[in-house]
Amino acid sequence: MTVLVLVLGALVAAVGAVLYVVFVPASVGRAVDGFLVAHDLADDPDTRRAVARYVGRTRDFARRGMALGLLGAVVLGVAWYQQVTVGFGVSPIGDLVTMGLGGWFVGLLLSVRYWRTPAGDGPRVAPLTPRDVDRYRSPTLARSMAAVAALSGALGVAAVLSGDPDERAGVVVLALLTVAAMTWAARTQGRIARRPQPFVTVDLLAADDAMRVTSAEIVGLAAIGIGLVVVGWQAAFVAQGLAADQAPTWTWFLPAVPLVAGLVVAGRGRRRIHPRARRMRSPVAV
């Protein structure tokens, strides 16, 4: 009876959190100030309005995706495994960290589909300069995304060749999901770069470029973060498939390494959404 009460309480709390996140928009005042300062943008009404719309949309989609992911972890974890984990456990489906981070990642991807191009007063013309994704995505970020996909795919291939039959399917499915997530993220970054940019106002043009760079970075870092968490699950399944006399004791700590790394990378991506405004020093009289 006590367990049933706790489960029902967790479900009610999760549903309440989701409803709050969906219907109560996040406050973006300080985030807008931080974005303007971090990217050295003009603090005029048109630029502030465009940045506020961008930051609010991105944060709301990310929050809603994370809330739905957490709710899914609670519901599916209780229904299928009679438990909810934080970190590694029986399955990533019932894990709050994995599902919450995965929902956050999906929310960020969906926010790009609803990009509203900021508009100012006066005529607008589209520049003829072609925009490539590498203009907004650094080579290091692109290589890191490819490396995580390759690492997850390699673990999947290794599981097919020599894995334990009970754990093989899970490792392979996670590898396919990681490659699909990285591909989706890369395509989304391409969409960010190719979206029309019909502005002649210098301030709005700078703001639009800053938003594109930020979105490309957030999507890439979120993809790397969830990819590393999935790699951690794959490593955990591989470790579980090894016989105790064949695996050294220290190998059981390996799954925690990509998990922590993934959370750190995802945290860096989160800071891009609402950067802290740098303190401006008062001018010194001479």
Expressed as residue numbers, the domain containing 89 is 2-117+132-273
* DSSP E strands, the chain: none
Q: Which pLDDT score is estimated for 249?
A: 54
Rounded Cα–Cα distance for residues 144 and 44 (Å)? 37
71 vs 7, 10, 16, 58, 65, CA distance in Å? Answer: 12, 9, 10, 20, 10
Residue 165 in domain: yes
Q: Is residue 256 part of a domain?
A: yes
Residue type, 220: G
Query: Has residue 54 been placed in a domain?
Result: yes
Contact of 82 with 160, CB cutoff 8 Å: no
Q: Give pLDDT, residue 105.
A: 93
Is position 252 within any domain?
A: yes
Q: How far apart are CA 189 and CA 125, in angstroms?
A: 23
d(CA 191, CA 78): 38
Task: Give the model's pLDDT for residue 148.
Answer: 95
Q: Is 87 within the bounds of a domain? A: yes
The answer to whether the CB of 45 falls within 8 A of the CB of 121 is no
Could you identify the residue written with the tokens 């790699």? 231
Question: What is the structure's pLDDT at 26?
Answer: 56
279, part of any domain: no
pLDDT of residue 79: 83
> Which of 201, 198, 217 is CA-nearest to residue 135?
217
- Secondary structure of residue 85 in the 3-state scheme: strand
Total number of domains in the chain: 1
DSSP letter, residue 278: P
- pTM score: 0.81
Alpha carbons 156 and 132: distance in angstroms, whole number = 32
- Residue-level pLDDT at 283: 38
HEC sequence for 4-41: HHHHHHHHHHHHHHHHHHHHCCCCCHHHHHHHHHHCCC
Query: Does some domain include residue 127?
Result: no
What is the per-residue pLDDT for 282?
35
Q: How far is CA 169 from CA 81, 175, 243, in A?
A: 18, 10, 18
Asked whether 232 and 66 are in contact (CB, 8 A), the reply is: no
Is 237 contained in some domain? yes
What's the token pair of residue 239? 């470790």
Instruction: At 85, give phi and psi (nearest 5°).
Output: -115, 165
Average pLDDT by stretches of 10, the chain with 286 residues: 56 58 61 87 87 88 90 86 79 88 92 66 54 84 94 87 71 92 93 74 85 92 93 82 54 73 86 62 36
